């Protein structure tokens, strides 16, 4: 058994302490309330070869982002990186780069996806971060995921507890410098979930006195020395471990469930190292420690987010004042290594990848068709095994080129269609997941009708409920279906709050609702809209497997108030469902397509030569 886990340290004082011991490893993951269960959800690494040539794509220049340089401009001086090769090992504790690494303390309160109107019990964690200038710190997104925030209207209802809330709820992300006994309040500016990076700011001037931000280096080579610095479990002081770069390739990011460039190292990375920097011999930061690969058959496999990914994150934030995420092409690709297949498709050379499916929500659906062969990406030739040149003498997965782009970028594809070469342009957009891996805004949507609790299906809900209780048919849709239009959701009856109105429906938990009063459900907001507009005597819900639930409308409205009071639920629906409904379907033909009948993966990587790009 092998599990890839994010390495944020966890404190057990306020945590539910649901640590799960497998036969191979003890796994910590603060971003999921310590509920990473290797038996329930395996974050296996799905890696590919990735390399390039001088003629191929080059890593993005980090200096394009201002975050690493504005502080030096203010000081009117350039801080020189420490050359670790010339540093006396006995005096490593005096190296200036250590002072830029700080310890992160965070109190997390994750949503309760089974009871979506409330939060889970809070827990605390520790991680690492480092200074990049301009009053900013860089760390991992999972280190500050679901950081506790107070709902400000509460302060007006409970003025006597204002100081309590201010002290214990507003200041739930704090940082501490090496050699200092004070903790400073940090604000989370932005999180990049798919790349597992977060940007923090600290306003206190005392925190930045004498601080020198780290400088970023280029993508390292194999066997280059690497030094990892952070605050892992096992002690309170700073920790330094050394190793070498053992592999550079596309890596599965456990927290973001995405596949991006990663650096594999053999230096020790433990819970609490997350967010800490990794240095080369010149004292330049070459990446951010973020996860390890644990198995009975492996040891000393740690992973670092390279500066190319960090640069993409910061540039995205600088351009848009928010994080928009990594784009995708929106096609399912197959390798063309078989000569007979190339001949059948009239591909004259040993190159190209076959388009097997185009996502309906992608812009590629307007210009690409099933059976097209992509032979070039912005004039860079694509090999028949799905790779492109990378650096001097290596090759890398074709999708690496897409990960270097930003949402809204236009790329030119060279394709062969029915033996005829063509050039087409495609706008890249972030992938639309029918079943999301993370909930935007942090709190899931829900609506309660006479004790029937409806909510969208999501990966956190599947993990919380356990796959066995979800059902094989629903899991199959979650894993192998794609969205037909933007905004589509799988809405399920997550549970039934028993009362005299819904007698007989208590055993219908985790059933997908397909129709309401004969109308197909598009998403949870659509269901709420249909219920609000309904003037019929009965509310008729049609579920999968031909189940049907019928409620008398007026009796349901009366019962809902009593149910909310009896179960202590603050509202019969989430705040987002009080907004006016906007129909996401502009093309009614999308609704005529089959739902969940296509054997393609909702994940970003497929199997045996089939891969999403």
Quote the distance between the C-alpha of residue 326 and its chain's center.
10
Catalytic entry in 33, 125, 274, 574: 274
Task: Please confirm, yes or no, whether 525 is among the known catalytic residues.
Answer: no
Task: Please confirm, yes or no, whether 274 is among the known catalytic residues.
Answer: yes
Neighbours of 6 (CB within 10 A): 30
Structure token digits, residue 364: 């590629």
d(CA 357, CA 257): 21
Quote the distance between the C-alpha of residue 198 and its chain's center.
11
CA neighbor of 261 nearest in space, from 394, 129, 357: 394
CB 138 within 8 A of CB 310: yes
Who's near 199: CB < 8 A, 6+ residues apart?
67, 136, 137, 138, 188, 189, 190, 313, 314, 317
Task: Please confirm, yes or no, whether 252 is among the known catalytic residues.
Answer: no
d(CA 286, CA 259): 19
If DSSP states are collapsed to H, E and C, what string results for 480-547?
HCCCCCCCCCCEEEEEECCCCCCCCCCCCCCEEEEEECCEECCCHHHHHHHHHHCCCCEEEEEEHHHC
Strand partners, 385: none
Dihedral angle sign, alpha carbons of residues 116, 122, 123, 124: positive
d(CA 14, CA 11): 7
d(CA 55, CA 58): 8
Q: Residue 228 class from Cβ within 10 Å (0-12 exposed, 13-18 middle, 19+ buried)?
A: buried
How many Cα atoms sit within 13 Å of 551 on the Cβ side?
26
If DSSP states are collapsed to H, E and C, what string results for 18-40?
CCCECCCCECCCHHHCCCCCCCC
Catalytic entry in 51, 142, 312, 438: 142
What is each CA distance from 243 to 222, 227, 268, 393, in whole angstroms? 11, 6, 8, 24
Catalytic entry in 112, 194, 196, 316: 196
Catalytic residues: 142, 196, 274
């Amino acid at each position: 058994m092998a599990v890839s886990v994010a390495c944020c340290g966890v404190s057990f004082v306020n945590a539910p302490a649901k640590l799960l011991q497998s036969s191979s490893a003890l796994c910590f993951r603060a971003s999921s309330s310590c509920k990473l269960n290797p038996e329930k959800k395996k974050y296996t690494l799905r890696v590919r070869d990735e390399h390039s040539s001088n003629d191929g794509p080059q890593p993005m220049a980090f200096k394009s982002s201002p975050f690493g340089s504005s502080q030096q401009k203010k000081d009117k001086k350039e801080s020189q990186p420490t050359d670790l090769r010339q540093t006396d090992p006995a005096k490593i504790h005096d190296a200036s780069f250590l002072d830029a690494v700080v310890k992160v303390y965070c109190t997390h309160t994750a949503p309760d996806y089974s009871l979506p109107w409330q939060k889970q019990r809070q827990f605390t964690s520790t991680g690492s971060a480092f200074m990049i200038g301009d009053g900013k710190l860089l760390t991992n997104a999972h280190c500050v995921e679901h950081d506790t925030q107070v709902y400000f209207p509460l302060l007006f209802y409970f003025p006597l507890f204002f100081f309590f809330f201010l002290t214990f709820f507003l200041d739930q992300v704090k940082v501490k410098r090496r050699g200092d006994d004070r903790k400073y309040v940090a604000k989370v500016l932005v999180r990049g979930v798919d790349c597992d990076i977060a940007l923090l700011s600290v306003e206190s001037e005392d925190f930045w006195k004498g601080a020198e931000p780290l400088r970023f280096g280029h993508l390292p080579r194999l066997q280059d020395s690497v030094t990892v610095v952070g605050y892992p479990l096992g002690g309170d002081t700073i920790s330094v471990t050394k190793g070498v770069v053992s592999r550079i390739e596309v890596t599965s990011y456990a927290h973001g469930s995405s596949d991006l460039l990663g650096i594999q190292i053999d230096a020790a990375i433990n819970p609490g190292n997350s967010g800490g920097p990794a240095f080369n011999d010149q004292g330049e930061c070459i990446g951010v420690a973020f996860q390890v690969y644990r198995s009975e058959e492996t040891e000393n496999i740690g992973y670092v987010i390279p500066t190319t990914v960090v640069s993409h994150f910061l540039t995205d934030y600088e351009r848009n004042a928010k994080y928009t995420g990594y784009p995708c092409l929106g096609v399912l690709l197959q390798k063309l290594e078989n000569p007979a297949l190339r001949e059948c498709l009239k591909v004259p050379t040993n190159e190209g990848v076959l388009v097997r499916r185009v996502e309906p929500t992608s812009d590629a659906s307007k210009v690409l068709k099933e059976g097209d062969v992509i032979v070039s990406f912005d004039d860079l030739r694509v090999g028949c095994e799905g790779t492109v040149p990378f650096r001097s003498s290596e090759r890398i997965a074709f999708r690496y080129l897409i990960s270097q782009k930003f949402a809204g970028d236009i790329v030119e594809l060279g394709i062969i269609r029915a033996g005829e070469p063509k050039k087409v342009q495609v706008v890249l957009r972030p992938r639309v997941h029918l079943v999301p891996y993370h909930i935007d805004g942090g709190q899931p949507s829900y609506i309660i009708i006479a004790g029937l609790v409806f909510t969208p299906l999501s990966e956190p809900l599947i993990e919380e409920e356990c796959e066995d209780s979800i059902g094989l048919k629903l899991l199959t849709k979650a894993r192998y279906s794609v969205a037909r239009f933007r905004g589509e959701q799988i809405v399920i009856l997550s549970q039934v709050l028993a009362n005299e109105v819904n007698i007989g429906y208590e055993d219908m938990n985790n059933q997908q609702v397909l129709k309401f009063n004969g109308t197909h459900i598009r998403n949870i907001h659509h269901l709420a809209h249909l219920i609000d507009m309904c003037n019929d005597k009965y509310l008729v819900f049609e579920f999968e497997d031909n189940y049907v639930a019928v409620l008398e409308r007026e009796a349901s409205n009366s019962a809902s108030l009593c149910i909310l009071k009896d179960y202590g639920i603050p509202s019969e629906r989430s705040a987002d469902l009080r907004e006016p409904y906007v129909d996401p379907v502009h093309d009614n033909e999308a609704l005529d397509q089959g739902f969940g009948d296509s054997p393609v993966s909702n994940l970003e990587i497929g199997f045996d030569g089939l891969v999403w790009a």
